[in-house]
Amino acid sequence: MEMDTQVTVHDAMTSNVITVDPKTSVAEAATIMSQKGIGCLIIKSNSEPEGLITESDIITKVVSRDIQASQITVAEVMTSDLIEIDPGSEVYEAARTMAKNKIRRLPVVNNGSLVGILTSTDVMTVSPELTELLVENARMSHTIDYSDMETSVPGTCEVCETYVDYLEEVDGKYVCEECKEELEGE
């Protein structure tokens, strides 16, 4: 007899969310992200999240416009129309929400209070079968030309089907390092 167990957002989320005040400078936010090894911060001045700032926001909204990061606050560049999810929701629902909205992070909110954050990496870690949905989202959301840069995402290699932390795109497929070398060596 097969048991049908659903993984919830609460099971997969990170509950220790790093947050900053809206008046925090972008330079301070970048320093915190760098020190903590994270790609985003939640902005809040009370228990409910007001926005989110990512490394990409800093690059596209500050650095590329030659704005001095110490002279601008996170509130001025954050994404404020947050899409949130309830901790009791299923991870599959979260993955569909991420794919549909072309996002990789969901603040987890319970009764108006921030209780965690769920990233696409969290989803793929607890439910590798959802990797295809999120990898397709990653393919569709490339709006910047990364032709000179190496891009990688965690997931299941489309050639050998091994789960790895770093997949790279080669000829339209996301593959592991070993399969990349084989494909490029042909």
* Known binding-site residue numbers for Fe cation: 157, 160, 176, 179
CA dihedral 179, 180, 183, 184 (to 10 degrees): -150
The owner of tokens 């167990």 is: 5
Residue set of the binding site: 157, 160, 176, 179
d(CA 45, CA 60): 24
Vertex 166: Cα angle to 100 and 126 (nearest 5) = 55
**CA dist 33 → 24, 36, 54 (Å):** 13, 5, 9
Parallel, antiparallel or unpaired: strands 51-54 and 105-110 = unpaired
Q: Which of 61, 74, 77 is nearest to 26 (CA)?
A: 74
User: Taking the alpha carbons of 13, 33, 41, 83 in that order, is the dihedral positive or negative?
Assistant: negative
d(CA 163, CA 185): 22
Residue set of the binding site for Zn(2+): 157, 160, 176, 179
